[in-house]
Structure 1
Amino acid sequence: METTYLVNILQASIAPFVLISGIGLLVLSMTNRIARPTDLIRRLLDELPNAPERDVKFLLSQVAVLRKRCSIMRWAIFYSIMAIICVSCVTLILFASQVLNMRLYFMVELLFGGALVSLITSLVFLLEDIRITLHSLDIEIERRKGNLG
């Protein structure tokens, strides 16, 4: 096998890993976002037995919102990982098609399209988590204002 041919094969199969690196950073961000509500749920559940009766309903509602956020982030992470799997398969198929001299372009197009759809879906879930976070913050602000006034 010629060196030039091998370089072309490696370029075709390695280039998608740039996308994997970017998605990997999103996954890192998402795992950090899921860690915070998980810790808060544990703290609120620890506070619950000693909480005044007037705060129990609020604490339970906060736990429910935080649990919903965890679920949403789980789906965001799932779809990001699916995008990484699709891009990895694209890389494998590109490499195999070059080495075996086969035309597998339809599979590459299908998997790359799947990667993009998965990434977009993941970002939609991330936006929903941010929306819920801000809504929950608004509720907390209103609650604190009510306690002051």
Structure 2
Amino acid sequence: MSAEFEGVLRAALTPVALISGVGLLLLSMINRYHHALNRVRQLMAERSRTEDPHERDRLSHSIQIIYRRCHVMKNAILSILTSILASSLIVLLTVIEGLWALHFEPVKSLLLFVAVALVGVAVVLFVFEVRYSLRALQFELEEAG
């Protein structure tokens, strides 16, 4: 293996590690998203079976809270996926630089900034989603009360 290729490979490993770490966060978010979607489906089925207006209103309110959670989580997932795309482009540009002696440092720096910023956005959205889930739980506890 040539020293030049080893240098390219070494330079490409950092964004690959970022992709790997962010992938675990993405997996967690997708699991929460699917759980919330399944809960909405359960509540909708329950709402269609009940004839009590108070119970229907309670279920509708719970559905709305969980729907907002899903919307926030969808945006967090899109942020993570875009971050992964930016990191992938860094890897691609690093390989192109190594093969053809081109220089993409400003572009790669911008992509790294974007990738890390999008992870930050996703984490903030994840915090909002957790707050929504606690609000939904609080509502359920008050109703059971």
Q: TM-score range by the shorter chain?
A: over 0.9
CA distance, structure 1, for counterparts of residue 121 and residue 48 of structure 2:
39
Q: Provide, for residues 2-61 of structure 1, a one-character-per-residue CA deviation record: whole Å limited to 9, x for no partner.
A: 711111111112331111011111110001000111111111111112222220101001
Correspondence for 1:142: 142
Correspondence for 2:89: 89
Correspondence for 1:57: 57
115-124 or 47-56, larger mean C-alpha shift: 47-56
Q: Where does structure 2 lack aligned partners over 5 or more consecutive residues?
A: none
Which residue identity lines up with residue 43 of structure 1 in the other structure? Answer: Q
Question: Please, what TM-score do these two structures have when normalized by structure 1?
Answer: 0.92
Question: Please, what TM-score do these two structures have when normalized by structure 2?
Answer: 0.95
How many residues matched? Answer: 144
Correspondence for 2:2: 3
69-78 or 2-11, larger mean C-alpha shift: 2-11
| 2:117 equivalent to 1:117 | yes
Correspondence for 1:128: 128
**What percent identity do the matched residue pairs reach?**
25
Q: CA RMSD in A?
A: 1.1
Q: Where does structure 1 lack aligned partners over 5 or more consecutive residues?
A: none
